[in-house]
C-alpha cells in the first residue's frame, strides 16, 4: 500500500544517484508488503528492481553481499547451493532483503534475531547522490542506528549478511494446544524447537495450530510416520506428553498438511509432517512459487517484552469477542533481543503477536485501539510496516535511542529528501 506522484525504475547505480540528487522527495519501494503509509512519497517512489540483482558470496568471511531488491527465496536457493544458510527467515520468502531489514521484519525462534541482525554492512545512496558504506566493524554505534532505518537515511542498494553452514529442517504441525499449557509452560513450549509459531483465531483459549521447526543438528524430532508415539526421550515434548502419548504438550499431530487460516488449502504452504528439507524451504511458512494472499487482508503486529508475554496474552483474551469477528488468523512468535536502535526487539527478548485481519479498515481500526489499550502497560512496539494507531508521542517514548537516530538522519539527510509524512508524524516530528 503506497502513494506517489510517480514511480521511477533506474537500471544502474549511476541513474539512481542522478535521480536522488535532483529529487526533492524520494522513497524507496521494497517488495510492497506494507499496510500503512511508510512507503508513501509526495515526490518520487523508486523501485530498485531494475538494478543488477547481484549475490556475491565471500567464503573467507562467511558473508554474502546482496542487491537490495533480491528476494529471500532467490537468495536462499543460491546460498544453499553453495553450502550456506541464513540463521533465520520470515514467514514469506517473497519479501525483499533490504525492505525486510529496514523494518526489522522477523521470523521465529528464541535464539533468532530479526532479519536485520544478520546485516554486517550497508551500502546506500544519500541525498546528494553520494555512495556511503557503513560497517559493523568500522562504524560501531552509528551502524547500529542505520540498519533498521525505515528508509530515512538513503536508498540502500546492497547489504552484506552473515552466513552459517547450510542445514536441514523438519517441520511439524500440531493442533489443539490447551491455553493453560501455554500459561504454565510458555518458555518450555517456545524453547522446544529451533522455531515455534502458534496460530489462534482468538475464539477460545485453545491454540488452533503449533508449527514446530527442528534443525536436524539440534534436538531430535518425532517420527512423522508414528504420529501417535511420544516424542523421543530427552526432548521437551516427551516430558509433557499426555496419557495418550501426544507429542507436543498434549496437542495432536495434524493428520495432513495445514494452512494457518482455517479452511484454506495448504497448497501454498511449505512441506510439513516431518519431511526433512533445506532451511530455506522449511523456515518460511509459505512457498515462493505461490502467492499466499491476493491482498484481501490487513495486518498488524505488536512486540512485547518476553517476561510479560503471558500477561499480555491474558489481557488480549478479554477482547476475543472484538478480535475474532474481524480476524483471519493470529500468530504468536518469539524474537531474540538486539542492539539495533529502531528494532522492535531493541534491548529486550520479545514476543510478537501478529494479526491478519479481514480487509475492512472501518471494522479493524477500532479493534486496534482496544488491543493497543490492553497492551499499553507492556510498552508494546508495533511493526513498522503494518497497521497501528499508537499515538506518535507514545511510540517515540518506546525507543530510547530515537534522539540519536534523529541526529543520524540530520547527518545523512539534512534536507529531508528521504523523509515523508509517516516519518515526520511518528519519529522525526516534535519530541
Query: Which helix (H) or strand (E) element contains residue 197?
Result: strand 195-200
Q: What is the pLDDT of residues 188-241, one digit of tens each?
A: 999 999 999 999 999 999 999 999 999 997 444 444 333 333 333 223 333 334
Does residue 328 form part of some domain? no
The answer to whether residues 206 and 61 belong to one domain is: no
Domain count, the chain: 2
The answer to whether residues 137 and 199 belong to one domain is: no
Tell me the residue range of the domain where 45 lies: 6-165+401-428
Query: Which helix (H) or strand (E) element contains residue 57?
Result: strand 55-58
Q: What is the pLDDT of residues 76-120, one digit of tens each?
A: 999 999 999 999 999 988 889 999 999 999 999 999 999 999 999
Q: What is the pLDDT of residues 368-385, one digit of tens each?
A: 999 999 999 999 999 999
Does residue 336 form part of some domain? no
Q: Residues 301-312: what's their mean pLDDT?
A: 98
The answer to whether residues 141 and 178 belong to one domain is: no
Domain boundary among 267, 282, 297: 282
Specify the pairing of strand 44-47 against strand 6-8. Answer: parallel
315 against 220, higher pLDDT: 315
Domain boundary among 262, 282, 302: 282
The answer to whether residues 132 and 198 belong to one domain is: no
Going by C-beta distance under 8 Å and a sequence separation of 6 or more, which residues neighbour residue 176?
206, 207, 208, 250, 251, 252
Domain boundary among 282, 301, 330: 282
Looking up residue 251, the CATH number of its domain turns out to be 3.30.70.2530
The answer to whether residues 175 and 254 belong to one domain is: yes
pLDDT-above-70 percentage for the chain: 89
**Mean of all residue pLDDT scores within the chain:** 89
**Predicted confidence band of residue 178 (pLDDT cuts 50, 70, 90):** very high
Lowest mean pLDDT segment, chosen from 34-43, 214-223, 269-278, 348-357: 214-223
Picking from 326, 328, 329, 348, the residue whose alpha carbon sits closest to that of residue 337 is: 348
Does residue 383 form part of some domain? no
Picking from 33, 116, 37, 12, the residue whose alpha carbon sits closest to that of residue 286 is: 33
The answer to whether residues 89 and 130 belong to one domain is: yes
Does residue 315 form part of some domain? no
The answer to whether residues 100 and 207 belong to one domain is: no
The answer to whether residues 268 and 415 belong to one domain is: no
Lowest mean pLDDT segment, chosen from 1-15, 187-201, 354-368: 1-15
Residue 33 pLDDT: 66
The 8 Å CB, 24+ separation contacts for 55-61 are 55/79, 57/82, 57/84, 57/163
Q: Look at residue 430 and tell me whether its pLDDT is greater than 70.
A: no
Q: Look at residue 130 and tell me whether its pLDDT is greater than 90.
A: yes
The answer to whether residues 174 and 252 belong to one domain is: yes
Does residue 138 form part of some domain? yes
Query: What pTM, to 2 d.p., does this model score?
Result: 0.91
The answer to whether residues 96 and 71 belong to one domain is: yes
Residue 140 pLDDT: 85
Residue 5 pLDDT: 66
3 state DSSP class of 405: helix
**Predicted confidence band of residue 302 (pLDDT cuts 50, 70, 90):** very high
Q: What is the pLDDT of residues 249-262, one digit of tens each?
A: 999 999 999 999 99
Looking up residue 157, the CATH number of its domain turns out to be 3.30.465.10
The answer to whether residues 140 and 206 belong to one domain is: no
The answer to whether residues 207 and 161 belong to one domain is: no
185 against 29, higher pLDDT: 185
Residue 295 pLDDT: 57
Amino acid at each position: 500500500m503506497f502513494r506517489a506522484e510517480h514511480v521511477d525504475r533506474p537500471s544502474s547505480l549511476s541513474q539512481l544517484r542522478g535521480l536522488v540528487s535532483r529529487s526533492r522527495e524520494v522513497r524507496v519501494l521494497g517488495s510492497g508488503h506494507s499496510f500503512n503509509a511508510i512507503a508513501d512519497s509526495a515526490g518520487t517512489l523508486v523501485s530498485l528492481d531494475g538494478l543488477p540483482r547481484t549475490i556475491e558470496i565471500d567464503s573467507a568471511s562467511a558473508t554474502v553481499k546482496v542487491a537490495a531488491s533480491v528476494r529471500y527465496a532467490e537468495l536462499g536457493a543460491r546460498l544453499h547451493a553453495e553450502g550456506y544458510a541464513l540463521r533465520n527467515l520470515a514467514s514469506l520468502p517473497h519479501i525483499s532483503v533490504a525492505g525486510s531489514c529496514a523494518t526489522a521484519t522477523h521470523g521465529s525462534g528464541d535464539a533468532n534475531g530479526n532479519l536485520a541482525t544478520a546485516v554486517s554492512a550497508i551500502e546506500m545512496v544519500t541525498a546528494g547522490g553520494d555512495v556511503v558504506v557503513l560497517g559493523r566493524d568500522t562504524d560501531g554505534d552509528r551502524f547500529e542506528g542505520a540498519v533498521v532505518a525505515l528508509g530515512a537515511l538513503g536508498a540502500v542498494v546492497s547489504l552484506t549478511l552473515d552466513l552459517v553452514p547450510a542445514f536441514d529442517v523438519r517441520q511439524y504441525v500440531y493442533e489443539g494446544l490447551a491455553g493453560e499449557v501455554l500459561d504454565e509452560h510458555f518458555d518450555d513450549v517456545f524453547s522446544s524447537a529451533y522455531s515455534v509459531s502458534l496460530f489462534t483465531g482468538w475464539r477460545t483459549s485453545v491454540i488452533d495450530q503449533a508449527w514446530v521447526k527442528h534443525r536436524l543438528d539440534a534436538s531430535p524430532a518425532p517420527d512423522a510416520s508414528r504420529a501417535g508415539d511420544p516424542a523421543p526421550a530427552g526432548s521437551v515434548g516427551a516430558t509433557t506428553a499426555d496419557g495418550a502419548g501426544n507429542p507436543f504438550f498434549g496437542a495432536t499431530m495434524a493428520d495432513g498438511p495445514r494452512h494457518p487460516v482455517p479452511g484454506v488449502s495448504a497448497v501454498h504452504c511449505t512441506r510439513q509432517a516431518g519431511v526433512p528439507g533445506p532451511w530455506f524451504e522449511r523456515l518460511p511458512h509459505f512457498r515462493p512459487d505461490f502467492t499466499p494472499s491476493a491482498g484481501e487482508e490487513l495486518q498488524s503486529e505488536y512486540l512485547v517484552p518476553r517476561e510479560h508475554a503471558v500477561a499480555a496474552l491474558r489481557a488480549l483474551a478479554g477482547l476475543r469477542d472484538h478480535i475474532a469477528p474481524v480476524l483471519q488468523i493470529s500468530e504468536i512468535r518469539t524474537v531474540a533481543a538486539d542492539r539495533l536502535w529502531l528494532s522492535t526487539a531493541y534491548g529486550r527478548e520479545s514476543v510478537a503477536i501478529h494479526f491478519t485481519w479481514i480487509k475492512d479498515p472501518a471494522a479493524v481500526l477500532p479493534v486496534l485501539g482496544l488491543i493497543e489499550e490492553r497492551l499499553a502497560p507492556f510498552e508494546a512496539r508495533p511493526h513498522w510496516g503494518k497497521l497501528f494507531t499508537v499515538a506518535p508521542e507514545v511510540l517515540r517514548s518506546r525507543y530510547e535511542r530515537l534522539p540519536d537516530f534523529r541526529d543520524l538522519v540530520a547527518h545523512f539527510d539534512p534536507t529531508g529528501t528521504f523523509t515523508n509524512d509517516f516519518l515526520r508524524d511518528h519519529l522525526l516530528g516534535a519530541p
